[in-house]
Amino acid sequence: MKIKRIIVANWKMNPRTTQEARKNFLHVKKTAEKLTKVQTVITPPFIFLESFSKETSRRCALGAQDVFWKKEGSYTGEISPAQLYDLNVTHVILGHSERRRLGESDEIIRDKIKAALEYRLNVILCIGESERDTEGHYLAFLKNEIKKSLERIPKKQLARLIVAYEPIWAVGAKAKFADTPESLFETSIFIRKILSDTFSKKIAFQVPILYGGSVTEHNAENFLKNGGVDGLLVGRASLDFKEFSKILKIAQNVECAT
């Protein structure tokens, strides 16, 4: 378990105006700057990145929700890792289930991861099964996602990898419930085992693992305390700066079981 907790806000396609986005960002930043044991990462839509780029710090970092795999050129509508880097963006979410649903494959995700790591961005790789079965097939699915997305990525670049376990059935407005800390604990051990078998023990313990999926101010403490994870990826609850600030304070004060 790392000393610093990583709490990521995924604003998805919200809010509607720059004014609202700045208000949210500045409120969260005020709390985040005071927390010594938490690294906060805010990932707004691309359109707001420039407006926040001069306000970021180590405790309150800026992330993007996607990136293209080329540096520049004729790729209409895409944003490159070099462009993100230029805006002080330090993190990027890749492999999110809402993007996989739009057709992003493990191979595309791998190319994006490779490009992002080459530009020294920290990659938050999202993995997660759409259904939980009792025979453990979902574990084979997770193993395959990890292996395919990280195929041929040089080991030394994995120092900037973060894995976010986001079971799809627990993510977003249609989710009926979150995972439980007990089952998350088992899954986080499984993810470390895959990283250890695929790369090395050192990498398995150095890569932070986050949980995402219906996290709120009410369940955050239990996930951090008993889920065997290093942090959280928060979607809907990060849109309310008061609730998200409470989650950040919980992360600062929580005692870990491990």
Residues that bind ligand PEP (CB under 6 A): 10, 12, 166, 171-172, 175, 212-215, 233-237
Pick the closer one to ligand PEP by CB: 126 or 203.
Answer: 126
CB 217 to ligand PEP: min, Å: 12
Residue 166 CA, chain-centre distance (Å), reads: 9
Phi, psi dihedral angles at 231 (to 5 degrees): 175, -170
Q: Which residues contact 222 (CB under 8 A, 6 or more apart)?
A: 181
Q: Is 91 a catalytic residue?
A: no
State the nearest-atom distance from the C-beta of 238 to ligand PEP, in Å: 7
Nearest to 124 by CA among 217, 240, 229, 14: 229
Nearest residue (CB) to ligand PEP, 227 versus 235: 235
Least CB distance to ligand PEP at residue 28 (A): 15
Task: Give the nearer residue to ligand PEP in terms of CB position, either 69 or 165.
Answer: 165
**Residues 104, 151, 166, 255: which is the catalytic one?**
166
- Write down the catalytic residue from 91, 96, 98, 129: 96
In angstroms, the CA 62 to CA 56 distance is 6
Say whether 96 is catalytic: yes
Least Å from the CB of residue 25 to ligand PEP? 18
Pairwise CA distance, residues 70 & 171, whole Å: 29
Tell me the Cα Rg of the chain. Answer: 17
Catalytic residues: 96, 166
